[in-house]
Structure 1
């Protein structure tokens, strides 16, 4: 039986095949597409619109999409040459050369791990918030005495979602792949329903002039008077929506012909997500009935979730009922669910790969593979436990979601930068084919963006660990196969 091209390349890179290689291109694409999830930025729509108005939001997405393609092409090229589960940090180690490889790999590995694990938390929060709105509108709205889940219930939903994803990821990868195939159709069909249906239902709709040219800051709400600063903040949504395509790279050891299918999954996910994502933002913005009312704490959604209010206003004005808004919110909630499930899949592979190379404390525990399902179950539950821990401050602070998103974006996108930079400075002959600033002013304990503190503290400890200890033993990816002698 002829060896799979991806497995052959994996052996050449020094790793034996341990995970089950049975994923097709479409299934890998399904998981990658679900991780990106063009509905995923929904919770950030309200703050982004408030900072600088619709024009900055809409055109900011276009600009970010443009530059995302450059990153995507670079990552696809590198993935074709290094189809390993370790992906980003493995690439960095080989591309930076023997002198700087271990340090580049160390930095990239931890940025990647921080980014992808905190990414699970962003989806758990978004899923909890969407479900909170569904319950509120289903029980009578904020004006009609509906049930608005308090913090402890909100956190309970957050934890339940995380545990559910961990349970599903404990089975064979084909289970997650099957669910994410459903996710593709859920998001594509649901996306068409929302994108086409919402503007048709909304009456009247906003003018093209408002959507594409209206720029308006809200210093009385945000405390921010600098216009350039508000534009930067409004683009946060776009940056958050357009990453996660490296999930295809994390699955390459479980994908057939991964040296070809990995890059294809990366580029196709970027293309479809960017197109649907922009159309979704346009649908929401054109359907706004009263911009000022969206943020009123006394409105039907308690001013807590702007897209839900847009949906409710559109349906209620046309049909005098909010049922349609609830249905649309269920579609969006489903996208959050599938996105969180896929993000945990990706995160577990990153932790497994780094543990295989001895880069995480107690690596022997996290490297274990389930004997039947051939998935890194211990790594799955480690990621779930960390996700739950970083979500507990929600009980006291309103800014936790912004902090988690910031940490995820910094880590994930920062992880992209290391191997790409290494690729740019590498000798061509050797190659084989963030956001940290406060978001609300004045600064108080409940408005401060804790991402700078969290990320700085984590990176300081990681760098200190490198200087004092890890540089002596961490040499980057560790071969566990002797190709020349054929020993495994």
Structure 2
């Protein structure tokens, strides 16, 4: 109880009251991060497209994405250890680079986060359909099942923090079974290919103009999706006990554990496929499902689908949790239209209005699925927005570090000079990957799509940036910030 009071006093130093219930332990925060990154959701979304572009070589693109995002996770851990406030990137950029840039970064972040919930719901709908039917899934049916995903995630979140924790724990168990346990079984008992196949494209470059390099870059653009979501831990800082210590630790542990699981599953599936060339040609629509049912037996089909579904639902619930907190943080600072309503906290001490609004927006995004298979498009949208935000945050941190506006060593995560090296490398990686994801590729657009769909990532996020910029210039939300001064960026409040 004394720790909770201390955390509340520290929050007051930032100008905020303790409105949210501070009941999340280090394990609960880890569960949120783990469920949001979700090895099941990550690998199942990436592996099919990875095989199509690079064949078995896809796994090396995943390794590169893991190493690059590890640099970003370390920078985020430094920031989270010093600013234990709900709002994450919006709060960090606002305090280190000013409220105008903070608003723009927060605006793009919210857009990308809603797109990620839409994407998870769309991907999960396929598994929900498989549970009850072996027939084809229509575009309309896909959208409706996606809405079911969003509705369930919202319903669980509206019950309060405690039910969310229980569902996320179930999700971790499901992830362990669906990823780690199954992968170990495949590696030990179903080993149909040698390790040499990991260096063979099996002719996949034909899908991208005959260039293996182009195929690898396209695969790398998609692989970035598997390592998103670790920042979800920062959105529950005001509900976490001793957030300066527990949030960054949970962030890094969740990231590393998920990365290990993703790479283990990718390796196991690639080595287990009896006909990997069918995964390249598209004859096998889902390489993971094929490897499991062919290798373990048809009896495992329905149980495996159930376990995967639990993991997908846990991921959707976790994403809904942190999006609601992000909107709440924005609205609490009077940065959005209808801010007083969006910042409403109910009897269960949750921002229920923000949760409902973001669920509606995510459900509307599912309408993209009416135009056929939208998986690649949605992944590009979600990844593109997040990587733009990652780049803005890493650049802000680097400039603040070099100009003395931020002293990272005053937080719980102290890296000294190594922190500067990590920050620079993170910026280099993010600049490359943001361009790579935004690069117009016909293979990531719907079949027969127009130039608008090919350039969709650049066009949509340019439009979002211009809308946000217009709002900043006309509505001047930065002038509505609370008058209580925030602590200096290089000085942590005393505990």
1:79 aligns with 2:80: yes
Helix, strand or coil: the match of 1:206? Answer: coil
Per the normalisation by structure 1, the TM-score is 0.86
The 3 A distance-change label for structure 1 pair 476 and 38 is farther
Cα deviation, 1:135-174, whole Å, max 9, x if unaligned, reads 44xxxxxxxxx42222222211100110111111112112
Does the CA-based 8 Å contact 1:86-1:353 persist in structure 2? yes
The 3 A distance-change label for structure 1 pair 379 and 389 is same
Helix, strand or coil: the match of 1:40? Answer: helix
1:241 aligns with 2:233: no
Equivalent in the alignment of 1:105: 102
For 1:219-258, what aligned pairs fall within 5 Å after superposition? Answer: 220=206, 222-258=207-243
The 1-side partners of 2:188 and 2:158 are apart by: 42
Does the CA-based 8 Å contact 1:90-1:476 persist in structure 2? no
The 2-side partners of 1:169 and 1:290 are apart by: 42
The 2-side partners of 1:153 and 1:446 are apart by: 24
The 3 A distance-change label for structure 1 pair 462 and 158 is same
Q: Which has the higher helix share?
A: 2
Gaps of at least 5 residues in structure 1 are: 137-145, 484-488
Does the CA-based 8 Å contact 1:21-1:256 persist in structure 2? yes
Gaps of at least 5 residues in structure 2 are: 412-433, 488-495
Helix, strand or coil: the match of 2:261? Answer: helix
The 3 A distance-change label for structure 1 pair 295 and 157 is farther
The 1-side partners of 2:189 and 2:367 are apart by: 39
Cα deviation, 1:187-220, whole Å, max 9, x if unaligned, reads 2243222111234453x51111002x11344355
Q: 2:152 aligns with which of 164, 182, 188?
A: 164
The 2-side partners of 1:296 and 1:233 are apart by: 16
The 1-side partners of 2:156 and 2:141 are apart by: 23
Cα deviation, 1:419-445, whole Å, max 9, x if unaligned, reads 322221124364342322325189732
1:323 aligns with 2:325: no
Q: 1:414 aligns with which of 388, 391, 399?
A: 388
The 3 A distance-change label for structure 1 pair 296 and 170 is same
The 1-side partners of 2:382 and 2:486 are apart by: 36
Count how many residue pairs are aligned between Structure 1 and Structure 2.
453
Does the CA-based 8 Å contact 1:155-1:395 persist in structure 2? yes
1:384 aligns with 2:359: yes
Equivalent in the alignment of 1:215: 201
Cα deviation, 1:254-303, whole Å, max 9, x if unaligned, reads 11111111111111111101111100100110111112333667x6xxx4
Per the normalisation by structure 2, the TM-score is 0.85
The 2-side partners of 1:353 and 1:156 are apart by: 30
For 1:261-410, what aligned pairs fall within 5 Å after superposition? Answer: 261-294=246-279, 303-315=284-296, 319=297, 322-370=298-346, 372-398=347-373, 400-410=374-384
Does the CA-based 8 Å contact 2:15-2:484 persist in structure 1? yes
Does the CA-based 8 Å contact 2:86-2:325 persist in structure 1? yes
1:478 aligns with 2:475: no
